[in-house]
Amino acid sequence: MDTNDKPISQLMTRTVCEVPTAWSAAQILEKMQAMAVSSVLVVEDRLTLGIITERDVVRNLHRKGGLKSLSCTDLMQAPVVTVEQSEKCIDVYHLMDGRRIRHIAVTDGEGLLVGIVSEGDILRDFGVEHYMRFKDVGGAMSTDVVLLPETATVGEAVALMDERRQSCVFAVDAERRPLGVLSERDIVRLCHEHDDPQGLTLRETMKGPVRTTHRAALLHDVVKSMDEARIRRLAVVDDTGGVCGVLTHHEVVHGLEGQYVSYLKDMIQEQEKALEGRQAAVSEKRVLENILRSAVGTAVITTDLDGRVGYFSPAVLAMTKLQPFATRGRDAFEVLATLGWPQARQAMTPQNLANGRLHTQLLAWTADGQSCHAELQVSLLIDDKNQAQGYLLLAR
């Protein structure tokens, strides 16, 4: 896989499902079901005004009830995150991961829509070397899986899917063995078929049998079978047949985050080669700071394993809301607690972040009477011997 230099135009889908702002939610639900698409773009004169995804349907059903009486603008998210078609694939992925989104509209130099890219598009470009990073399904799967009895209602399932940002719910028996699955796409279908499906049970609406894989199965083989069967998720089971996790496109693609660090190092090396022969030398650290500031607009903080701040980039000082981190030796866990994440100490452990895992956290706090928000990504700092030495925090 060569995601570093490849433009996103080589991966994007050029046939985009578009709807006008005049459409009703009922018309949009019908089109999404008929075309079996996970998103539609709201477009007027090739200008992208909004996006409606399966996740938006789940969220609105949970928070507003029946959707058929709503308008297009009630459902859509705006503004839409867009990238130009010349952007590098790995930068686009990093933006998707940082924003916690699964679709990005692609435009030409004039801002006109030319395509759309999803996690699935990126996944299909991966080579064998990416899967060797994890080897087995257990190294890539998410253990944050929603399980309910088949007597639970669609309303209960939708509430958990919305609150925990999950794409499906598995109905299980008393031994956690899978009986059926209710996915975001199923929610779109139910909203099209019923005025308000929340009172229905999983037994009435779930699909089965559930496709499963064992946590010890080889990741490359499993992803290949998912692609051939054109499915987006599998229940992961243990030796007893009980559900212990879920594997979706998101979990597999999420592992690319580790490659972004290698990408930055490659950029540093290129910068250093360009500086050879000049009298003024620029340190690797300074080059990295400039890359992070200009390329991804990210504030960088590093800590030791006890959470003590060891380094912070100039962007931290430039962002008033993040200045509490701008003290070496400061307890980052205490700072994060004041920024709306009191569980940081429990979540940030070498065990939770092993094998290149990345934790994404939304921060929300009040400062000087103003509501503040930030997106935080946390990963391990690894030395040359692959030993954890601390934590890397990327804040936007």
Q: For residue 268, is pLDDT > 90?
A: no
Whether 314 has a pLDDT exceeding 90, the answer reads no
Distances (CA, A) of 377 to 87, 245, 300, 346, 391: 22, 22, 10, 15, 10
3-class secondary structure, 26: helix
Partners of residue 115 on adjacent β-strands: 106
Specify whether the CB–CB gap between 59 and 77 falls below 8 A.
no
Position 153 scores a pLDDT of: 98
- For the cut 60, the answer to whether the pLDDT of residue 281 exceeds it is no
pLDDT of residue 296: 45
Q: Residue 132: is its pLDDT beyond 60? A: no
Range with the poorest average pLDDT among 140-149, 236-245, 249-258: 249-258
Judged against a pLDDT cut of 50, whether residue 282 lies above it is answered with no
Q: Is the pLDDT of residue 30 over 80?
A: yes
Residues paired with residue 359 on neighbouring β-strands, in sequence order = 378
Percent of the chain with pLDDT over 90: 43
pLDDT in tens, 72-129: 989 998 888 889 999 888 778 777 877 778 889 999 888 889 999 988 787 777 654 5
129/218: higher pLDDT: 218
Q: To the nearest 10°, the Cα dihedral for 50, 54, 57, 59?
A: -100
Highest mean pLDDT among 235-244, 289-298, 312-321: 235-244
pLDDT at residue 152, as a whole number: 98
**Strand residues in the chain grouped as ranges (E):** 18-19, 39-44, 47-53, 82-84, 103-107, 113-118, 147-148, 168-172, 178-183, 212-214, 233-237, 243-248, 299-304, 309-312, 359-367, 370-382, 388-395
Indicate if the pLDDT at residue 287 is higher than 80.
no
Q: How confident is the model at residue 35 (pLDDT cuts 50, 70, 90)?
A: very high
Residues 6+ apart with CB under 8 A from 207: 180, 181, 182, 183, 186
Q: Which residue has the higher pLDDT, 135 or 166?
A: 166
132-146, 238-252, 330-344: which has the minimum mean pLDDT? 132-146
Mean pLDDT for the chain? 83
Residue 138, pLDDT score: 87
What pLDDT shows up at residue 260?
45
pLDDT at 119: 81
pLDDT at residue 81, rounded to an integer: 86
Q: Which domains does the chain have, with CATH numbers?
A: 8-125 (3.10.580.10), 129-254 (3.10.580.10), 297-395 (3.30.450.20)
> Over pLDDT 70: what percentage of the chain?
83
pLDDT of residue 84: 92
Q: What is the pLDDT of residues 154-209, one digit of tens each?
A: 999 999 999 998 999 999 999 999 999 999 999 999 999 999 999 999 999 999 99
- Give the position of tokens 């509209």: 105
pLDDT at 273: 59
Between 384 and 70, the more confident residue is 70
Q: What's residue 171's pLDDT?
A: 98
Q: Which of 169-178, 241-250, 278-287 has the lowest mean pLDDT?
A: 278-287
